[in-house]
Every structure is written in structure tokens, then in C-alpha cells.
Amino acid sequence: MTRLHVFAGPSRPAALGPAVEDAVVWHPPIRHGDLFRLRPDAGTDILIIDGLYQQHAPIRHKEIIAALRQGVRISGAASMGALRAVELGEYGMRGFGTVFQWYATGRLESDADVALTHGPAEEGYRPFTVTIVSILAATDWLCATGALSRSAGDRLVGLCQQAHFTARSRGLLRRLADDGGLRAEMDLLLDALNRAEPGDVKQHDAASAIRALVGGAPAGPAPDLRDLPASSYEAQWRLDFTPYDDVVTEGQLLTFAQLFLPDWPRRQLEHVRRIAAGADLWPAAPDDRRELPARFCTPDELRTLSGDELAARLLVRSFRLRPGRLVHLRLPVELFTEKELRMLASTCAKALRLDERAHETVASYSATQLSGEVVDDAFAAVWACPDFENEVLDRGFAGVDQFRRQARPFVAAARAMVGTRAVPVGSSRD
């Protein structure tokens, strides 16, 4: 049986029936990187309902497009999923439900109209605030049944829109209604949201989308995205988020090897030579040929190294992959033995746990807030190199900024390593 992967939180419908539930694989609200973490195959069905965008970076449009290009079938409904479906419809993302239609037709424009604050997963993502789309749907229903006049419904919606989505609790809405002389109407609205009918439009949309997809709702012809170029951001995210095992990602494992393997510069040269074999990399313009050595090599290197040695340094330090921003698009497993990869993954996980422990035990510690100077000093001590910036390039980083971004979670491990003079992983290829 084909399973439907659903990313949902506060909009998850309560009762779908066992037949539908058995066909669903539930995931938390989607965030940046989750589609790469999932590693879906072509033909996989995914429904995005809820998503995070304050605690974590939101799901990127290019992530969804990357999955669509690979033949993954992605739909959206109810909340962030409805927004992304409207934005990416031309790329083949399908939309379901009332909220999707409201955005598609222009009744809604603001992302904040589906936003709310909610509790953690352990509490079932219990909502703390009320969304504008829920208020709109409930007032529409009350006006259609004659329980509320259209003018009163419009006044209620306008009053609710005065509150920021992070503060739009039921208590605040009642206080605003008291001030506006609409307390009876507000009580009617909030009571309607608690009942099965009309209830919460987001949960209704989510339930109908799940049932439609589980039931095999026919899709129109998908656009051909095979010629749509991948961006360098997509390539970097794929490396950053694709799991190597249950603990570390391919990007974390590669970064750990770059930072801590004593012989990584040799492996990096081997890697670049394999990719560049047969390619004409030397610039045609004589001025560029003269400028390159001075740009990438120190005066001491220019004076003492042989021509082949200088060529090797230039090759590694200037190497970039298309479109010109990245040095690595994947974990180069061919540079390691299987034993080394297992050792690296285990030791990388321990290094990341040191960072987690530092966050938990030192109130002022935050790896993301470490200054560039602190990061540089930590690894200058590990590498004991005379030329730090060129060592960064020799280890396969595109530059100091990329090195700092990727090295921050490993600073605690670097300090521990220097303090104990222990090398996490040796340079043996056995």
C-alpha cells in the first residue's frame, strides 16, 4: 500500500478512521531541510499542512521544487501547505481546500492569516491563539445560517485583525469584543469554533485533503522540470540535511573530516584532481595566469615550492563547482574506507554531543553566536598551521566565512581535543 507522508501539527484532524490512518505516515510541522531529511523517492506522496517559520527556518520553495523535479508528488492544504501550493502551482504542487482557494483567488494575501502559536508535540501542538482563516470561515457560516448579520460578521473580523497572531488568544478576543460592544457576537463565534460544525476550517481542509489523496485523487499532468537547473543553495542544503545515519548528516560528517583529519589536505587534493582530470582549468589570459599564484600562494610558497607543488596548491585553493560557489556537492565517500566512515560518524556524533552539552550546562554558550575570532582560534590551535586562511582553502572550504559557519558546532570538540591532545580520528587508510 502506498503511504502518504503528512507534515502536520495544530491542524492535524482528530478522527480520520482506521483505514485512512493506516495509510498515513505522520511527521511534525515541516521546516527547512525536512524534505532532504526524508529522502523521498520518485512517486512518493507528500502533503504539507503545517510548517514552522519562527523557531526554525521555514521550508524553502527551492526544497519543494527540488523534490518535484525528482518526481515526488507534493500537495498542500490548510495552513503553510496552502500558501506553498499557491506559490508553486506552476511547478506541479497541488492545493486542496477552502484556505488554498482563498489564497488562490485573492481573498487572503497575508501569510499571518494562517499563523498561530501552539504548544509542543508532547502536548499535541495545542493551539494558544486563533487564526484569521478560522475566524473568517466561522463568521461566513454564522452569517449563512442567519445566526449573525453580515455587518456584525465584518465588524468581528475587523476587530480580530487588530491583534497580532502571536497575541490573538480567546481571552484577548473577548476583551477586545467587550471594548467594541460585540461580546455576545464574539461568544457566538468562539463557540462555533468549538463545535463540529462549522469547527476549524484548517482541520476540515486537512482532513479532506488527506482523504482525497489516500483515495487516489487524480492529478493533472505534471510539468516537466527536468531541465530546470538546480541552484547552489539546493546543493548545499542537500549536503547539509541528507542523513548519513540516524545521528549525523552527510554534511556534518564531511565537515568533521575537513576539520579534524590531519591528512585532509592530501585527500582534498586527491578529490579535486579526480574531478578536474582532463579539464582545461588554466585561464587563457596571460594576466590572469600571472595573477593567480600571487592571489592564492604566499611569498614563501612562491619562493620555495616547485612548479608541481605550486600547481597543486593553486588547483585546490581556487577550485569551485558550478555555479561557482561550492567546493563539495556530496560526501566524497571514495576518499574513505568503510571503517574510516564508521569511525568518523561515531566520533562526529560525540563531537556534536559536546556542543549540545555546552548549550545545556553553560548559560551564556551558544555555538551560533560564537565570534569568527573564537572559531578561528580554536582550529588554528588544532591545525598548528602557519597560514590559517590558506589552510582553510586547503581543507576544502570555499573561504573563511563558510568555514566559520560549518565549524561553529565543533568548537567545543576542538577545545577538548587541544586540551587533551587527543586526535579524534587518525590519518590511517587501513
Q: Tell me the β-bridge partners of 70.
A: none
Below-50 pLDDT ranges, the chain: 422-430
Residue extents of the structural domains in the chain: 4-112+204-212, 121-200, 232-278+322-420
Task: Determine whether 429 is exposed, middle or buried from the number of CB atoms within 10 Å of its CB (0-12, 13-18, 19+).
Answer: exposed
* pLDDT in the model for residue 422: 46
CA-nearest of 177, 144, 172 to 159 is: 177
Cell numbers found for residue 286: 596571460
Contact by Cβ (8 Å): 60, 41: no
Straight-line distance from the first to the last Cα atom of the chain, in angstroms, rounded to the nearest whole number: 44
CA-nearest of 118, 121, 116, 87 to 104 is: 87
Q: How far apart are CA 427 and CA 395, in angstroms?
A: 14
Task: Determine whether 66 is exposed, middle or buried from the number of CB atoms within 10 Å of its CB (0-12, 13-18, 19+).
Answer: buried
Residue-wise pLDDT tens digits, 314-344: 889 989 887 778 899 999 999 999 999 999 9
* pLDDT in the model for residue 147: 95
* pLDDT in the model for residue 254: 98
Q: How far apart are CA 201 and CA 17, in angstroms?
A: 19
Residue-wise pLDDT tens digits, 170-221: 999 999 999 999 999 999 999 999 998 899 999 999 999 999 999 988 877 8
Residues whose CB falls within 8 Å of the CB of residue 31, separated by 6 or more in sequence, listed in order: 51, 52, 53, 56, 57, 58, 59
Q: Angle formed by the axes of helices 201-214 and 132-144, to 10°? A: 90
* pLDDT in the model for residue 2: 72
